[in-house]
Amino acid sequence: MNYGSHGKLLRINLTHGTIESETFDESFYRLYPGGKALAAYLLLREVKPGCNPLGPANALILANGLLTGAPISTATRFTAAARSPLTGGYGESEAGGFWGPELRLAGWEGIIVTGRAEHPVYIAIRDDRVAIRDARHLWGREPEEAQATIREELVDRLTRVLQIGRGGENLVRYAALTNELRHFNGRAGMGAVMGAKNLKAIAVRGSGRYAAIAHDPQAIAEIGRRLAKQAKEHPQSWDLQEKGTPGLVSGLNAAGILPTRNFHQGAFDGVDQVRWEVYEKELLTARRSCYACAVRCKREVEVHDRYDVSSSYGGPEYEAIGGFGPNCGVDDLQAVAKANELCGRYTLDAISTGSAIAFAMECFEHGLIGPQDTDGLDLRFGNAAAMVKAVEWIGERRGIGDLLAEGVKRAAEVIGGDARYFAMHVKGQELPMHDPRGKVGVGLAYAISEVGAEHLSAYHDPAIANPNSITFKGAMPLGITEPLPARDLSPQKVAYYYKLENWSSAGKAIGFCYFGPAPRSFISAADTVAAVRAATGWDWTVEDLLRVGERATNLARVFIVREGFSRTDDVLPERLFQPLENGALQGVALSHADFEAAMTELYRLKGWDSVTATPTRERLEALDIGWAADLI
């Protein structure tokens, strides 16, 4: 009976050059139905405690979501996971685009890559035919050129290529993976893991159809058509189609929570130069999409003016605009676009790269580093040219860029003094461009996430602040019964966070983009359940999906506990407990006492020990993963 899966994993050991297939049954898939859930399980199984993240014993897991490749808008995501070279803990990052769906059409649910090749290689997958090919001629070449060459060699221009650039080759600890040049597994340093394995790319081409594995292909097709229509009509998804994430800049600035000058401020005096209207006028050339998605939120830009910016690498999302713009004090949108393009060329995580440069700028302005450390580069807030140059130096590990490529936590330890106060990170991973002083639930997400600071661990507080909003109504089936202000940190808000975190985690297991399911966007909880039922034939409910999400989060938590993390690591940067210096929330800060009380309540709801933040055996057994308790 079809249950939405081929039941096959591809295992490749690069040290020995072996290629094997593993199978699993439906009962296994019910527990670990893809994406984050499958990746966390496999990582615990494959990686021994204390392994070197950049050594051959680390495993790179690539896992499709349950619905990835279905003809349903936003069902495009796959998870990349490994022990993170940035944090030393659980590393995970999701990406959309076309590579994940193509892997499923080739007949695989995921890939386990272990070992290290003697020289650079790439993996070529054509349905069941898998080969390890020489990539010495591709090493050092930019993604656009490498992709074109691989497609020529495989004689198929529709081959989907997942790869690294020089940032991954140079083992920048927050290097990313990219597919189709513009879709990124950005966070946690998965590109460095791939680079350490001498693995340049994984190229995939499939000839299958999703309908062949779906329980009810006709229902899947009908749901897909209906949701595509909803995507055109829903205010949230329509806004994403029109503006994409760059449209967030003005609203966050007005709310006083646009991170500015390394999170000192919440409003940027140069915001008029980086808002959506300027982006549309000066940069935008096209609106693009991921596989079978009607939202079309991806922006494409091209510039030939103060900077030359190619359209090949897409365009800056909000995180890149916020990170290279206001957080670095830069109001030149062309410079921001160039920095973003360089991140694409080097395959660097734009969030960590921008944060590392903002950190360096603050260190420079306080005299902790100087021109003698930066080869004369005037690395001050607002210096657009210096910001762009710093991105290049990070990708090349040149000069000060070599230190910044280690991440702000390690860089601060080397610089010493007050640099540790300027390093905006959790567990070693740099903060995204969302300020918890205005969205306190985001602070809970940053602190408790197993990957470090992460803005997609749960849906953001404003979604449940207005009872008349579409987002609040979309959250009601998840047990959200009354609106709460964005800065509320009551036990009720903590309970809501717990539910929303499980729902977000379930979305990663399903393979949905963050811009698909309610409350964020147009796919209701009922539609999500209907799609899963049509794919699998399982009589699942919202509660079953929440359970999948919670199981995945607990597996990831077990991984970091096994690696020595505890409650003492679930902490926010001290700066967030200091007042914002300007904007609508000037003078506002988080309270240490209130935040710690909220974290204690969250541990209680999760069934974790409140002192160690370790999942209890009772909770793990209740989630049908009691075996994981033996690992800690």
| Percent of the residues in the chain that have a pLDDT greater than 70, as a whole number | 100
Name the pairing type of β-strands 199-205 and 284-288. unpaired
The tens digit of pLDDT for each residue in 175-196 reads: 999 999 999 999 999 999 999 9
Q: Rounded mean pLDDT of 459-478?
A: 96
Name the pairing type of β-strands 284-288 and 429-430. unpaired
CB distance 9 to 110 below 8 Å: yes
Is the per-residue pLDDT at 310 higher than 80? yes
CA 195 – CA 193 distance, rounded (Å)? 5
CB distance 405 to 172 below 8 Å: yes
Other C-beta atoms within 10 Å of 549: how many? 23
Question: Mean pLDDT in the chain?
Answer: 97
The tens digit of pLDDT for each residue in 237-293 reads: 988 999 999 999 999 999 999 999 999 999 999 999 999 999 999 999 999 999 999
Question: Please, which residues have CB within 8 angstroms of residue 376's CB and are 6 or more apart in sequence?
Answer: none
Residue 28: per-residue pLDDT: 98
**In the chain, which residues fall in CATH 3.60.9.10?**
8-212
CA 259 – CA 241 distance, rounded (Å)? 24
DSSP state of 123: E
Taking domain 440-631, whether its CATH number is 1.10.3720.10 is answered by no
The tens digit of pLDDT for each residue in 213-226 reads: 999 999 999 999 99
CB distance 545 to 529 below 8 Å: yes
CB distance 49 to 562 below 8 Å: yes
Task: Domain 248-430: give its CATH code.
Answer: 1.10.569.10
The tens digit of pLDDT for each residue in 114-168 reads: 999 999 999 999 999 999 999 999 999 999 999 999 999 999 999 999 999 999 9
The tens digit of pLDDT for each residue in 328-342 reads: 999 999 999 999 999
Phi, psi of 288 (to 5 degrees): -120, 175
Q: H-type helices in 138-262, by residue range?
A: 143-154, 166-169, 190-196, 217-233, 235-243, 248-255
Q: 421-445: buried (b, 16+ CB within 10 Å) or exposed (e) per residue? A: ebbbbbbbbbbbbbbbbbbbbbbbb
Residue 140: per-residue pLDDT: 98
Q: Which residues pair with 111 in a beta bridge?
A: 10, 62
Superfamily in which the 8-212 domain is placed by CATH: Aldehyde ferredoxin oxidoreductase, N-terminal domain (3.60.9.10)
**Which pair of structure tokens corresponds to residue 447?**
């602190």
CA 87 – CA 84 distance, rounded (Å)? 5
CA 85 – CA 410 distance, rounded (Å)? 11
Is the per-residue pLDDT at 1 higher than 80? no
157, with CB counted inside 10 A (0-12, 13-18, 19+), is exposed
403, with CB counted inside 10 A (0-12, 13-18, 19+), is buried
More confident residue, 213 or 236: 213
Is the per-residue pLDDT at 601 higher than 80? yes
Q: Which of 284, 404, 401 is nearest to 333 (CA)?
A: 284
- What element of type H or E holds 21? strand 18-23
The tens digit of pLDDT for each residue in 371-426 reads: 999 999 999 999 999 999 999 999 999 999 999 999 999 999 999 999 999 999 99
CA 76 – CA 210 distance, rounded (Å)? 12
Residue 593: per-residue pLDDT: 98
Residue 35: per-residue pLDDT: 98
Measured distance between the N- and C-terminal CA atoms of the chain, rounded to whole angstroms: 37
Three-class SS of 357-369: HHHHHHHHHCCCC
CA 120 – CA 237 distance, rounded (Å)? 41
Q: Which of 20, 14, 114 is nearest to 62 (CA)?
A: 114
The tens digit of pLDDT for each residue in 13-51 reads: 999 999 999 999 999 999 999 999 999 999 999 999 999
**In the chain, which residues fall in CATH 1.10.599.10?**
440-631
Question: Please, which residues have CB within 8 angstroms of residue 129's CB and are 6 or more apart in sequence?
Answer: none
The tens digit of pLDDT for each residue in 54-74 reads: 999 999 999 999 999 999 999
Residue 238: per-residue pLDDT: 83
